[in-house]
Amino acid sequence: MKSIGRREFLSGAAKVAGVVGVGAAWPGLAWADPLGLPIGIQLYTVGSDIQADAPAAIRKISAIGYKEVETAGFGSLKTAAEFRKALDDNGLKCPSAHVGFDLANLGKSFDDVNALGCKYATSSVPRMMIMPPIDLTTASEEQRKTWLGSVMSPMTEEDSKRLADAMNKVGDAASKAGLTFASHNHTEQFSPVGNGTAFDYLVDHTDPKNVKFEIDCGWATVAGFKPADLVKKHPDRVKMLHIKDFLPFPKGASTGGPIRPKGSEIGQGVVNYKEIFAGVKGRGIEHIFVEQEGPYARMPAMQAAEVDYKYLHGLPG
C-alpha cells in the first residue's frame, strides 16, 4: 500500500475541513449528518488496521467521529464478545454485521451477530450461499480466482431463483433468532433477468418481512443504476446504504470482470451523493456506512476514513 507525504495529506484534509467550515461562515445553511443518521463505517474499509490491532483501530474510528460500524470479521480479536467490548468501550454501535452463511449450520453466524448487538445479519456476497463450497485458505491462487470469478459473474434467472430460495431460508431462520437478514449487492445483481434485473427478481421473490437490502451505491452506479431510483422502486425493502465512491471508470467496468474500477475517497469520485441523499430522504433508510475500496494510492486507509467522514459530515442537512 502506497503512502503519501504528511504535507500532501494535510493539504487535502484542510480542503475538506474548509468545506466543513462553510456552515459557520454562512449561518443560514443547516449542516448535519446525511439523512439525519449517524455516520457509520463498514470496517472492511480499514481491514488491515483491524487485523493488526482491532482495539486500536476501533479507538481511531471513534476518535474520527463515527458513531456506528458494520463488521466484517473480528480481526486481531477472537470472539464477538471481545469485539463488542471494544466497541462499547469506545461508544460505537453495531447495527449490522457482514457474516458468512452456511445453510446447513446457521446458528453460529446468528450467535455472533446477536453477541455484537446487531439488528441485521447481512450477507456481503449472498451468491456464495449457492456456490460449491471452497476452502479459500488452502485453495491454489488459480482455484481462488476461478471460484471468485464465478461468484461475481453475471447472474441468470436460474441463479436468481436459487438465490431467492436461499435468502428466504436464511431470512426465516434469522427472524427466529431475533434478527433481520439483509443482502448487499455488487454489480452481478444488476444483470438482466426477465423484464428487469437479478436484483429486481430477488426483491420480488423474497419475503418482504424477513429479507431486506443494503444498496451499495458505488457498485450500483458502476452497473449503470441510480441508487435513489432503486430505493424508490422497492419501498420498505432497502434499509441500509453503503457510501462508496470510484474514480472515473470505462464502460464495462464491474466487480469481477477484467475492468475493475478504482476506489476513491467519498466526494472525490463520480458518485453524486448530494443527489442520492436528496432522492432517498424520508424513504426508510435506517443506516449508512462508508465503505472504500482499495488500493489506497493517495493515503493510508485510516486517513481515507477520516476524509470520508469529514466530507459526509459537511453535507447540508
DSSP 14-35: HHHHHHHTHHHH-TTS-B-SGG
Instruction: Tell me what pLDDT residue 19 has.
Output: 37
Strand positions, DSSP E, the chain: 39-42, 68-71, 93-98, 120-123, 180-184, 192-193, 196-197, 211-216, 238-243, 245-246, 263-264, 287-290
Q: Express each pLDDT in 221-236 by its tens digit.
A: 999 999 999 999 998 9
Is a pLDDT exceeding 90 seen at residue 108?
no
> Who has greater pLDDT, 46 or 5?
46
Q: Express each pLDDT in 191-216 by its tens digit.
A: 999 999 999 999 999 999 999 999 99
Is a pLDDT exceeding 60 seen at residue 148?
yes
Instruction: Tell me what pLDDT residue 5 has.
Output: 36
User: What's the number of CA atoms in the CB half-sphere (13 Å) around residue 59?
Assistant: 4
Q: What share of the chain is helix, strand, coil (3-state, %, to 5)?
A: 45, 15, 40
Instruction: Tell me what pLDDT residue 51 has.
Output: 98
Cβ-count burial 91-130 (b if 16+ within 10 Å, e if not): ebbbbbbbbebeeeebeebbebbbbbebbbbbbbbbbbbb
Contact indicator for 9, 299 with CB cutoff of 8 Å: yes
Question: What mean pLDDT comes out for the span 62-88?
Answer: 98
Burial of residue 300 (CB within 10 Å: 0-12, 13-18, 19+) is middle
Is a pLDDT exceeding 80 seen at residue 17?
no
> Who has greater pLDDT, 105 or 305?
305
3-class state of residue 225 by DSSP? coil
Is a pLDDT exceeding 80 seen at residue 20?
no
Per-residue confidence band for 22, with pLDDT thresholds at 50, 70 and 90: very low
Burial of residue 209 (CB within 10 Å: 0-12, 13-18, 19+) is exposed
Closest by Cα among 150, 96, 104 to 128: 150
Q: Express each pLDDT in 261-270 by its tens digit.
A: 999 999 999 9
Instruction: Tell me what pLDDT residue 11 has.
Output: 37
Instruction: Tell me what pLDDT residue 32 has.
Output: 58
Domains of the chain: 36-312 (3.20.20.150)
Is a pLDDT exceeding 90 seen at residue 30?
no
Closest by Cα among 311, 316, 231, 224 to 276: 231
- The chain-wide mean pLDDT, for the chain, equals 90
3-class state of residue 275 by DSSP? helix
Q: Which residue matches cell numbers 463515527?
A: 66
Is a pLDDT exceeding 70 seen at residue 31?
no
> Who has greater pLDDT, 57 or 29?
57
Per-residue confidence band for 135, with pLDDT thresholds at 50, 70 and 90: confident
Is a pLDDT exceeding 50 seen at residue 10?
no
Q: Express each pLDDT in 241-252 by its tens digit.
A: 999 999 999 999
Is a pLDDT exceeding 60 seen at residue 13?
no
Per-residue confidence band for 136, with pLDDT thresholds at 50, 70 and 90: confident
Contact indicator for 237, 208 with CB cutoff of 8 Å: yes
Backbone angles phi, psi at 213, to 5 degrees: -130, 145
Distance CA 201, CA 272 (A): 26
Question: What mean pLDDT comes out for the span 282-302?
Answer: 95
Distance CA 79, CA 77 (A): 6
> Who has greater pLDDT, 289 or 5?
289
- Going by their DSSP bridges, the two strands 245-246 and 263-264 should be labelled as antiparallel
Distance CA 75, CA 87 (A): 13
Tally Cβ neighbours within 10 Å of residue 275: 12
Residue type, 152: M
Is a pLDDT exceeding 70 seen at residue 24?
no
